[in-house]
């Protein structure tokens, strides 16, 4: 914030040079905006303009940055999604949790996390996850993950909890070539997929 102390009848220009900002690993990737307000005699503050201060990136060269990045905290229903540098937050009705040392996510959230189409067949108790040419299915109560017709055994199973279907994220991330990063201190999972 700064004050203009001298009156002027000529248009002024405010220039900010060499702005350096450090954002910790939990900052959002995307545009950070500023706001210009007019406040005459400390009364009647009025917004004049909003502008982009800077665009935060992952710190990787653009050609190496993942096209899709998702981030969530165990126990929180909120999920931050960044697609091609644009971030948004989605809230789900249930939070991911840890079971058998595996991150369990609701079917709907897993679809968002993996940028994939997810469906559930209640009669067969089967979850289907699809992205590109890859199709993975798993049945509630089974440790078998079927990938394009080939079976792989998981060390945990899909379950129903609080009337929601939860699936183990790590096995699916591997199937769909997504990289997972785990921060044990903050209980944060980051998913990166090109």
Hey, what are 53's tokens? 């201060």
The DSSP secondary structure of 73-102, one letter per residue, reads: ETT--EEEEEETTEEEEEE-SS--EEETTE
64: pLDDT strictly greater than 60: no
Q: ∠ at Cα 165 (162, 167), nearest 5°? A: 125
């990289």: which residue's tokens? 179
Supply the pLDDT for residue 21: 67
Supply the pLDDT for residue 27: 62
Task: Say what the pTM is.
Answer: 0.60
14: pLDDT strictly greater than 80: no
Spatial contact of 91 and 76, defined as CB atoms under 8 Å apart: no
H and E: helices and strands count for the chain? 2, 16
Run of H or E residues at 175: helix 169-175
In the predicted model, what is the mean pLDDT of the chain? 81
Residue range 64-90: mean pLDDT, rounded: 83
Which CATH code, of 3.40.50.300, 3.30.457.10, 3.40.30.10, 3.30.930.10, is assigned to 62-193? 3.30.457.10
- Looking at beta carbons, which pairs linking 102-106 to residues 24 or more positions away fall under 8 Å? 102/155, 102/156, 102/168, 102/169, 102/170, 103/74, 103/168, 103/169, 103/170, 103/189, 104/156, 104/159, 104/161, 104/166, 104/167, 104/168, 104/169, 105/166, 105/167, 105/169, 106/164, 106/165, 106/166
108: pLDDT strictly greater than 50: yes
Each domain of the chain, given as residue ranges in start order, spans 62-193
């Amino acid at each position: 914030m700064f004050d203009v102390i001298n009156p002027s009848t000529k248009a002024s220009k405010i220039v900010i040079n060499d702005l350096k900002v450090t954002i910790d690993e939990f900052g959002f990737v995307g545009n950070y905006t500023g706001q210009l307000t007019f406040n005459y005699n400390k009364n009647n503050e009025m917004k004049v303009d909003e502008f982009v201060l800077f665009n935060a990136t992952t710190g990787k060269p653009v050609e190496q940055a993942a096209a899709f990045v998702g981030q969530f905290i165990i126990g929180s229903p909120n999920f931050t999604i960044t697609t091609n540098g644009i971030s948004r937050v989605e809230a789900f009705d249930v939070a991911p949790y840890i079971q058998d040392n595996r991150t369990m996510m609701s079917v709907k959230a897993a679809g968002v996390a993996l940028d994939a189409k997810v469906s559930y067949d209640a009669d067969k108790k089967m979850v289907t996850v699809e992205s590109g040419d890859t199709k993975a299915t798993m049945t509630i109560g089974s440790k078998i993950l079927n990938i394009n017709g080939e079976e792989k055994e998981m060390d945990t199973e899909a379950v129903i909890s609080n009337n929601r279907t939860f699936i183990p994220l790590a096995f699916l991330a591997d199937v769909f070539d997504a990289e997972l990063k785990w921060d044990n201190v903050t209980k944060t999972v980051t998913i990166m997929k090109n």
